[in-house]
Structure 1
Amino acid sequence: MFGTTDWIHGWQNYTTDAWQRALLTLDTMRERGNVFLEHLHAGKPALLKFEHELLLDGRDLPQPCNYALLRILPPDGEVIDPTRRPIVVIDPRAGHGPGIGGFKPDSEIGVALRAGHPVYFITFEPEPVEGQTLLDVARAEAQFIEEVIRRHPQAPGHPSVIGNCQAGWAVAALAAVRSDLMGPIILNGAPLSYWAGSPQQNPMRYSGGALGGAWLSAFSADLSGDRFDGAHLVSNFENLNLANTWWDKYYHLYANVDTERERFLDFERWWGGYFRMTGEEIEAIVENLFIGNRLARGEVEMEGYRLDLRNIAAPMVIFASWGDNITPPQQALDWIIDVWGSEKALVKAGRTIVYMLHPRIGHLGIFVGGGIARREHEQILDTLEQIAALPPGLFEMKIDARDPDAPLAALESGDYSVSFETRSVDDLRALNPECRRDEALFSTIAQVSEANMRQYRQWLQPAVRATGGKLLGEWLRWLHPLRQQHLAISDLHPLAPWIRQAADSARARRQPVEPDNPWLQWEQLGSRWISESLDRIGHQRDAALVHWVEAVYGPHGLGALMPPREDDRASSAAHARADEREGRRMALEQVEQGGFADAVCRILLAGLAHRGVIQRRGLILGQMLADAHRRMAQDGALVEGTVAAAPGEDWATLLHRQALIVTFAPDEAMAALPLLLPTLEDREQAVALAGAVLMAEAELADPGSPAARRVHELLHVDPARVAEMAQALSSPAAATVSIAASPKPRRRRAVA
């Protein structure tokens, strides 16, 4: 309990602390204005925490653009392994400048360097080249990646390319055209299905309908001399969360000004660095993607070539979060439903897609969160080679605390263990709580947008371009509220000397209040009330927007005049059925072909289909055993009656071929195993190898388990014996010795 004296004393302490915090916060805001001006005068360079050197400048290319390729120089003490797969990081060009991929030591670039990867960064300048198009940017990025490939002939494969947010869909589009360029593709918070989401959680989708479509973006660019100001996009992001924009981030600084100053200024340097695009770029983005949703539909053309996401041959890793209200999981994943229709279609095409969902991190946290970098990004990069060796199909990546006593635990370093769980397209459909019912609405919005753009281009655009220009664009740029916000308090302000002096005095006499001070607790309570009130206002605004757009564009509004076009579900389902028929035909043709290695892959895949999960450490063991097996194949004699396997054929190739057989002809695949494994010794060793990779020793040792019964019935081997052999193989130190004792690897049978 507090007496009157305590309350008065507490009030005195609180007011001293509150006044000092106010002065320090005001001084931090002054410094923010200075940082904004300094960054502007420096040319807004990429805000990377790592030394780097320029390798290629897109402005020097035949079709110039404002992009460039940087090589990241490792910090002192970091050793780069030239035999490791190079990493290329591309940041979003969505209003802000580049740098979030290497914003701090614990970042995508930081964890890649610590893992020994050569790292490259594709950056961009604040102003586009005159007449620059998205196609020019794509050409430049392709040349940059080709240069990275040229520099690393010893790497185990092509570079792994990380696309953050907007850069993610750009990477996917490039991979659909140049599938020969990339190793595993990592898309972080990247939208590919722009109509997907929930009305309650993702109301930003409706803003295009409220504004009548894409014409306003074209109008803004035309008024400014073919320049679209990225500050408009940043303003849209800020409007999503009124509480954070108008109160929370400033109160957090005020409440923790002794420790938050540097972090706040670092973030504001990036957040306030607004970049511009050409009119063609923003119009193509808004019309083709955010309003038209044409990328997933295969309706975007590049040099007369229609972009088809089915052509992406590299394994894909998609990282999304339920806390992301800019790119929710549905926008990151629903394109798989529309493009493929079935997980079996992925298998037939030899495509591997891995996704990972975080329960709560926000959009920016995906890229700049230190904890996310140390956990999710680090585990993705540590698992690249295992992801590249996964069989085709759809998987969800899970990260759990590492159990040092688990089987094969020594094969995973660090604090985490990774597993891959098999998923179906129906699992992705289940992520849509409203079953995508509102997407028909966006089809009507897209048609209205197209009509409005036609009218704007015919009647208004010539006059707007004649009225506007570069000079007016500069005036509009500097008058934007976000820039004025930064300029309002800086050393240019007449009161800046007093603010600086008062803050220095407060810092020298700093008297922080105790956390249990009742007046401080009242302050915190008031802050929560303000934040919650702004949240309620934002929710009410969003609900009103959704209702208004539904009324205007729904079946009783413009939807009656412009009915929704047929969605992609029917066509994707038809494609999936055709793929399944063709896949089964191909599987039956190959079901009796192969030898020892094919049989091991087949058993492994059948076990994976049964168990639904495979551990990273099992995949690592499988790669070790496959390498040893390959070395024996190179050194050993051919078995009579067999022919050599295809030149360069490796474990991943075997997995892809056998996945087709096991997926589309599962019963026939198992029935043909005795043909591929003619001797008991072959059968025991094959089952033991697959069991070791799947870590299924316990199931094989249990005579009542379905796996043990199936093995005994099909191959007439003793499950207990093969369980012991699998256990022996599960010791990494003994793996090479064990494989050396196995029968000579049988080559794939000749096909008549």
Structure 2
Amino acid sequence: MMEKSSIPDNAMPGLFASALEYLVDTRQRSILFMDVMRRRGEQYRDHLTETVPHVLDYEIELIADGRNLERPVNYGLVRVKPPSGVEIDLTRRPFVVVDPRAGHGPGIGGFKADSEIGVAMKAGHPCYFIGFTPEPVPGQTIGDVARAEGTFIEKVIALHPDADGKPCVIGNCQAGWAVMILASLRPELFGPMIIAGAPLSYWAGVRGKNPMRYSGGLLGGSWLTALTSDLGGGKFDGAWLVQNFENMNPSNTLWSKQYNVYSKVDTEAERYLEFERWWGGHVNLNAEEIQFIVDELFVGNNLAAGRIKTSDGEVVDLRKIRSPILVFCSKGDNITPPQQALGWILQLYRNVDEIRYYGQMIVYTVHETVGHLGIFVSGGVAKKEHAEFSSNIDLIDVLPPGLYEATFTAKSADNAHADLVGGNWIMRCEQRTLDDLRAMGGNSLDDERRFATAKRVSEINLSNYRSFVQPWVRALAALHPAEWMRNLHPLRAGYEAFGRDTPVMKAVATEAEAVREHRKPAAKDNPFLKAQQIVSETIVNVLDKWRDTQEAMSESLFLSIYGSPALQAAVGIDPNADPSPVPEMSAEHRKLLDARIAELKAGIGSGGLRECWIRALLYVGMTRGMFDERSLEALRRMRKEDEASRLTLSQFKTLVREQFFMLILDQEASLTAIPKMLPDDMELRRAAIAAIREVLSVVGEISGETATRLERVTQLFGMSEGDPQAGGMSFSPRAKAS
């Protein structure tokens, strides 16, 4: 006997109506989705016809064309014009954003208002952008590009002679290592540097996460890069780099990105097209350029180790950088995880004192969730981290050398001295040690030997390819046009398929117009929409599990192959040696350091009220282990009060560093020298102590060790805690009082 249906009879009409509503909605969404794909294809083709395609959301003015240099390159420098209502202060240091040439076209740092460029202009800084054209100049090398970027920054400096500081340079993703290389070779050109989502230590990572670092070893090294370039007629198609990114998240690549547009086609189309305009703007690199990147960086990991030399024989040593380095990375970034963004610090220094010996100031901040692209394009990140970096860049520039972590706390009405906070967040730079970086995880010595083995295997395979295979490949490549091969790339084909003016696409456009006029979206509570979402989530889960399984297998295979004692012995890896030892300080730098230490010690007793004031403030403030933007803003205002004897930012920075190093070298001698350096005027002394107290108190109560040290410097200034305090925020130690 047939069982009775469990669905109530009165529910059937409603279910039928929902099904009909869903079918109409699905048909309309499908047509609109196809129209979005059509528009994406047309947008792609239009983008390729532009002479200098970019996605900047601002008017620009060409300042320098790299194709006109002695060693021409396909790079250029443009000035970004501020939008209506944004005022630029020409006395503020300019910002220069360098975009990554990692397969995509330029503009990602400023393709909307809430971006790196947008927040810098809102803070009053002039902005410049270094971008590139799709095709490289024949014969250009990474060295040529570095020289060109140095020329561009020189031009920016010349255009802003009254700026209070050298340009702040932002290096995004692959541009980060390029900026770091240039800064090590031309340190005099740079103000603070913001290195965002940039890999610098390519072997670094944590087991079970972010297996992209194993790719070079699993492919047998960089011979495949050479093969691809040879088949491309001496050029490497950037679409292959984009394909690598796509392969890391198959659920998004194969399903989620498209499904999100399909399911929300009425609201998501424009956002999707805006992003795809950049994502589909593939560019080419010369074979020499990509081979350098893969051999020296991705597989060789030679940047932090100091094993890269210029064509002139100069060693690229990141310890030569003299500007503050701000490293921005994220735990949610599967392309540049924090270990790859920060591991170079552990490779170059044994402790924080060594960072100070080189006069370096490194600040890092680690976002908890944002992905790789979100570091550059997320509006939330732009309004928070990038906005804080922009508004506090001059303040960061005067921090004493060392290692810091930037943390952010939401500003509220309850915060003390909230008027000293420029944005919606309070930024603090908290002192850190190398152990804080090690706590993030990293390679063991055995893992380092595995990567060193993969590097040796890569060198052997590349040599064999060049000797035995490359001549035949180049002869074969000469028989067919390289452009034909590039057009057949799967990523390019996906855009081309929908971008042509065919009868099918014309019909899609016509039908889409009709659908928009009679659009009938299904109700949000439609049960079939809910079922659709469940199916989508199932597909995502299956693809994610496939990815996780594939990644686990890749890691296991890499560790097994390159952990083989026989293979390591065959390629000459010492089983007892560290393949990436911390490089020793050069004899030249040691000589300069010893001379500088002697000079600073000899100058401990020199100076006047200004030197005593800075020294005392540093001594007392050291107990807190952090610098708050409110304290630094208070200092900035005090410095600005006295225009007659006002120090430039560079002079003020030098003064702070000198007094800090004196305290580090001989704290007791530095303190006992204060009474002899002070002027006799007790009013000036009282004003100085009052100013120190005010700077310290803007972030909270003065207590504990901080209060104890303040009492000591008060006595050194010839007063007791009970003496009346004069002055305040208007205090500025005058040069004539020094």
TM over 0.5: yes
Verify the 8 A CA contact 1:50 1:74 in the aligned structure 2: yes
Cα distance, 1:226 vs structure 2: 0.7
Q: Look up the SS of the partner of 2:129 in the other structure.
A: strand
The verdict on how the C-alpha distance between 1:492 and 1:558 changes in structure 2, with shifts beyond 3 A counting, is: farther
Cα distance, 1:391 vs structure 2: 1.4
Verify the 8 A CA contact 1:85 1:117 in the aligned structure 2: yes
Please give the residue correspondences for 1:157-556 in structure 2 after superposition, counting only pairs within 5 Å: 157-302=165-310, 303-432=312-441, 438-469=447-478, 471-556=480-565
Deviates more, 1:359-368 or 1:419-428: 419-428
Cα distance, 1:413 vs structure 2: 2.8
The verdict on how the C-alpha distance between 1:305 and 1:64 changes in structure 2, with shifts beyond 3 A counting, is: same
Q: Look up the SS of the partner of 1:163 in the other structure.
A: strand
The verdict on how the C-alpha distance between 1:523 and 1:699 changes in structure 2, with shifts beyond 3 A counting, is: same
The verdict on how the C-alpha distance between 1:346 and 1:689 changes in structure 2, with shifts beyond 3 A counting, is: farther
Answering whether residue 89 of structure 2 is matched by residue 81 of structure 1, we say yes
Verify the 8 A CA contact 1:57 1:68 in the aligned structure 2: yes
The verdict on how the C-alpha distance between 1:278 and 1:394 changes in structure 2, with shifts beyond 3 A counting, is: same
Q: Look up the SS of the partner of 1:288 in the other structure.
A: helix
The verdict on how the C-alpha distance between 1:10 and 1:668 changes in structure 2, with shifts beyond 3 A counting, is: farther
Q: Which residue of 605, 617, 620 maps to 1:607?
A: 620
The verdict on how the C-alpha distance between 1:555 and 1:365 changes in structure 2, with shifts beyond 3 A counting, is: same
Deviations 1:557-603 (A, max 9, x none): 52243326634445469999999988876664444443322222222
Aligned length: 724
Deviations 1:628-659 (A, max 9, x none): 4673589xxxxxxxxxxxx9983211111122
Cα distance, 1:507 vs structure 2: 1.7
Cα distance, 1:6 vs structure 2: 2.7
Verify the 8 A CA contact 2:204 2:442 in the aligned structure 1: no
Q: Look up the SS of the partner of 1:461 in the other structure.
A: helix
Verify the 8 A CA contact 2:410 2:426 in the aligned structure 1: yes
Q: Which runs of 5+ in 2 are unaligned?
A: 1-6
User: Partner amino acid for 2:238?
Assistant: G
The verdict on how the C-alpha distance between 1:238 and 1:5 changes in structure 2, with shifts beyond 3 A counting, is: same
Verify the 8 A CA contact 2:616 2:713 in the aligned structure 1: no
Cα distance, 1:100 vs structure 2: 0.3
Verify the 8 A CA contact 2:44 2:281 in the aligned structure 1: yes
Verify the 8 A CA contact 2:608 2:679 in the aligned structure 1: no
Cα distance, 1:88 vs structure 2: 1.0
Cα distance, 1:272 vs structure 2: 0.9
Q: Look up the SS of the partner of 2:429 in the other structure.
A: strand
Partner Cα distance (1:543, 1:30) in 2: 38
Q: Look up the SS of the partner of 1:325 in the other structure.
A: coil
Cα distance, 1:687 vs structure 2: 3.7
TM-score by length of 2: 0.92
User: Partner amino acid for 1:655?
Assistant: V
Cα distance, 1:707 vs structure 2: 4.0
Counterpart residue number, 2:611: 598
Q: Look up the SS of the partner of 1:306 in the other structure.
A: coil
Deviates more, 1:598-607 or 1:356-365: 598-607
Deviations 1:243-290 (A, max 9, x none): 111111111111111011111111111111110011100001100111
User: Partner amino acid for 2:662?
Assistant: I
Deviates more, 1:234-243 or 1:348-357: 348-357
Partner Cα distance (1:44, 1:673) in 2: 60
Q: Look up the SS of the partner of 1:397 in the other structure.
A: strand
The verdict on how the C-alpha distance between 1:488 and 1:700 changes in structure 2, with shifts beyond 3 A counting, is: closer
Counterpart residue number, 1:617: 630
User: Partner amino acid for 2:54?
Assistant: A
Q: Look up the SS of the partner of 1:180 in the other structure.
A: helix
Q: Look up the SS of the partner of 2:175 in the other structure.
A: helix
Partner Cα distance (2:547, 2:672) in 1: 61
Percent sequence identity is 42
User: Partner amino acid for 1:656?
Assistant: R
Answering whether residue 68 of structure 2 is matched by residue 60 of structure 1, we say yes
Counterpart residue number, 1:566: 578
Partner Cα distance (1:300, 1:33) in 2: 41
TM-score by length of 1: 0.90
Verify the 8 A CA contact 1:44 1:97 in the aligned structure 2: no
Cα distance, 1:372 vs structure 2: 1.3
Verify the 8 A CA contact 2:102 2:241 in the aligned structure 1: yes
The verdict on how the C-alpha distance between 1:217 and 1:744 changes in structure 2, with shifts beyond 3 A counting, is: closer
Verify the 8 A CA contact 2:227 2:470 in the aligned structure 1: yes
User: Partner amino acid for 2:160?
Assistant: H
Deviations 1:699-734 (A, max 9, x none): 547899544565567667434657x65xx62xxxxx
Partner Cα distance (1:5, 1:222) in 2: 65
Partner Cα distance (2:288, 2:734) in 1: 63
Deviates more, 1:306-315 or 1:461-470: 461-470
Q: Look up the SS of the partner of 2:188 in the other structure.
A: coil
Deviates more, 1:109-118 or 1:377-386: 109-118
Verify the 8 A CA contact 2:388 2:423 in the aligned structure 1: no
Partner Cα distance (1:629, 1:425) in 2: 39
Cα distance, 1:534 vs structure 2: 0.7
Q: Look up the SS of the partner of 1:604 in the other structure.
A: helix
Counterpart residue number, 2:3: none
Answering whether residue 32 of structure 2 is matched by residue 24 of structure 1, we say yes
